[in-house]
């Protein structure tokens, strides 16, 4: 257990929402509380918005109700956002409904296969709405593994690249691990997040932070403290403030 919490985790699936994340409020709360013990101060719950699982009005009500029920018991500051899979349908929506709460950013993943045309249009749509794209786990996608220059193009647009803690730790194999470190070392990536889903793939950042600290030294905190999202240390509560410990 860390003496103080400062991790800001912008990508997790701890709210039961019908996707492949937490299946119950109890499971989600347990994941949050364990993440808090491991140094996470702010955790964004980002339910998937897939082509086959859109955020209908009915689903949004259910997600927000679950969020409201979990928030007082999470043991950390739980915020809401969503993870978007790029689709033409989303280009016709008010994208601000998907904002990572309090950041002016929207989390959108690179398609795991195929081209990036819709992703580019999605990022431009986000920017036109006065928000900033955060590109989730590019190092895990076949598209970027085949052509890492795609990540450079996305970063050059000023979009924030987020690599997974599990990639840093090599849990997705050597290809994603190599790319994750390449993006961190070259500063193409700005964030490390957990993409935690369940007890077998939890929302923990402590082991990845230790590894990045060993390799990149004083640069490490900037990938974990929310500063890339415009959150300052003053806005990040200590674990003591959240838990009374």
- Would you kindly state where each structural domain of the chain is located, as residue ranges? 7-243
Positions of the chain with pLDDT lower than 50, given as ranges:
1, 3, 234-245
For 184-238, the pLDDT digits (tens) are 999 999 999 999 999 999 999 999 999 999 999 999 999 999 999 999 654 444 4
CATH of domain 7-243: 3.20.20.140
Entry pTM: 0.93
Tokens of 237: 């509560």
End-to-end Cα, the chain, rounded Å: 12
Q: Distance between CA atoms of 222 and 219, rounded to whole angstroms?
A: 6
**Residue closest to 84 by CA, chosen among 133, 42, 23, 155:** 133
Say if CB 90 and CB 84 are below 8 A apart.
yes
How many separate helices (H) and strands (E) can be counted in the chain? 9, 9
Say if CB 65 and CB 32 are below 8 A apart.
no
**Residue closest to 87 by CA, chosen among 42, 55, 130, 63:** 55
């Amino acid at each position: 257990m860390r003496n103080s919490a400062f991790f800001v985790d912008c990508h997790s699936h701890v709210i039961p929402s019908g996707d492949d994340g937490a299946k119950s409020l109890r499971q989600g709360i347990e994941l949050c509380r364990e993440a808090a013990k491991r140094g996470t101060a702010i955790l964004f719950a980002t339910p998937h918005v897939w082509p086959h699982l859109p955020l209908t009005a009915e689903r949004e009500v259910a997600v927000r109700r679950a969020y409201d029920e979990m928030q007082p018991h999470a043991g950390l500051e739980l915020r809401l956002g969503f993870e978007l899979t790029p689709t033409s349908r989303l280009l016709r929506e008010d994208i601000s409904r998907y904002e990572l709460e309090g950041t002016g950013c929207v989390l959108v993943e690179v398609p795991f296969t195929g081209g990036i045309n819709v992703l580019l249009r999605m990022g431009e749509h986000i920017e036109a709405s006065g928000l900033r794209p955060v590109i989730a786990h590019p190092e895990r996608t076949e598209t970027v593994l085949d052509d890492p220059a795609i990540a450079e193009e996305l970063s050059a647009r000023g979009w924030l690249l987020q690599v997974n803690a599990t990639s840093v730790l090599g849990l997705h194999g050597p290809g994603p691990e190599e790319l994750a470190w390449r993006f961190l070392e070259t500063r193409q990536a700005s964030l490390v997040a957990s993409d935690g889903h369940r007890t077998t793939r939890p929302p923990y950042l402590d082991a990845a932070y230790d590894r990045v600290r060993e390799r990149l030294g004083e640069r490490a905190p900037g990938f974990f403290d929310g500063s890339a999202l415009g959150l300052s240390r003053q806005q990040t509560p200590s674990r003591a403030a959240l838990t009374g410990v």
